[in-house]
Structure 1
Amino acid sequence: MKVYSLSGPSGTGKSTSALAFAHKIGVEAIIDDGLLIVNGIKVAGVSAKFEKNTITAVRRAIFTDEGHREEVMKALITYNIQSILVIGTSDKMTKNIAHRLELGPIETYYYVEDIRSQKEIQKARFIRQTQGKHVMPIPYRQVEQNFFKRLVQKGKEIFTPKREKIGETTIVLPDFQQEYIAIDKQVYVQLLAHSCKQQDIVHKVEHIQFILGEHAKATIALQLKMPIDYSIPRRVYQLQEAVQQSFFQHFGYELDNINIYVHSALQKKK
Structure 2
Amino acid sequence: MEVYALYGSSGTGKSSSALGLAHRLEIEAIIDDGILIYQGRKVAGTSAKYEKTKIQAVKRAIFFYPDHAEEVKRIMGRLPISRLLVIGTSKRMIERIVTALGLPAPAKFISIESIKPAQEIRAARYIRETQGKHVIPVPRVEVEKDFFQRIIASAQQIFSHRKEVIGETTIVQPAFSGGRIQVYEHVLKKIVQAACLRFPEVAQVHKSTYTFHDLPRLAVNLTLSVPFGTAIRPIIRQLQQALYDELDYCLNIAPASIDVTIQSVRIETSLTQKSL
Fold shared per TM-score above 0.5:
yes
> % of aligned pairs identical?
36
Match of 1:76 in 2: 76
> How many pairs were matched up?
256
Q: Report which of the two structures shows the higher radius of gyration computed on alpha carbons.
A: 2
Match of 1:237 in 2: 237
Determine helix, strand or coil for the equivalent of 1:71. helix
Match of 1:9 in 2: 9
Match of 1:35 in 2: 35
Shift of 1:97: 1.7
The one-letter code sitting in structure 2 at the alignment partner of 1:182 is: Q
Shift of 1:14: 1.9
Measure, in 2, the Cα distance between the counterparts of 1:266 and 1:206: 18
The one-letter code sitting in structure 2 at the alignment partner of 1:243 is: L
Provide closer, same or farther for how the CA distance between residues 266 and 156 of structure 1 changes in structure 2, counting only shifts above 3 A: farther
Determine which structure has the larger strand proportion and give its number: 1
Measure, in 1, the Cα distance between the counterparts of 2:216 and 2:262: 21
Shift of 1:84: 1.0
Of 248-257 and 187-196, more deviation after overlay is shown by 187-196
1:153 aligns with 2:154: no
- What pairs with 1:179-258 in structure 2 (closer than 5 Å)? 181-184=181-184, 187-188=187-188, 191-199=191-199, 200-211=201-212, 213=214, 215-225=215-225, 229-258=229-258
Determine helix, strand or coil for the equivalent of 1:176. helix
Determine helix, strand or coil for the equivalent of 2:177. coil
TM-score by length of 1: 0.77
Measure, in 1, the Cα distance between the counterparts of 2:89 and 2:238: 39
Provide closer, same or farther for how the CA distance between residues 130 and 209 of structure 1 changes in structure 2, counting only shifts above 3 A: closer
Match of 2:271 in 1: none
Provide closer, same or farther for how the CA distance between residues 4 and 259 of structure 1 changes in structure 2, counting only shifts above 3 A: same
Measure, in 2, the Cα distance between the counterparts of 1:190 and 1:257: 19
The one-letter code sitting in structure 2 at the alignment partner of 1:3 is: V
CA contact (8 A) 1:134 1:174 kept: yes
Provide closer, same or farther for how the CA distance between residues 93 and 235 of structure 1 changes in structure 2, counting only shifts above 3 A: closer
TM-score by length of 2: 0.75
Match of 2:52 in 1: 52
CA contact (8 A) 1:197 1:205 kept: no
Runs of 5+ consecutive residues of structure 2 not aligned to the other structure:
148-156, 269-276
Q: Deviations over 1:175-222 (max 9, x none)?
A: 223266433566546533553354433434345243463x54323344
Of 232-241 and 6-15, more deviation after overlay is shown by 6-15
Measure, in 1, the Cα distance between the counterparts of 2:184 and 2:77: 49
Provide closer, same or farther for how the CA distance between residues 127 and 187 of structure 1 changes in structure 2, counting only shifts above 3 A: farther
CA contact (8 A) 2:40 2:138 kept: yes
Match of 1:262 in 2: 262
Shift of 1:47: 0.6
Determine which structure has the larger helix proportion and give its number: 2
Provide closer, same or farther for how the CA distance between residues 231 and 81 of structure 1 changes in structure 2, counting only shifts above 3 A: same
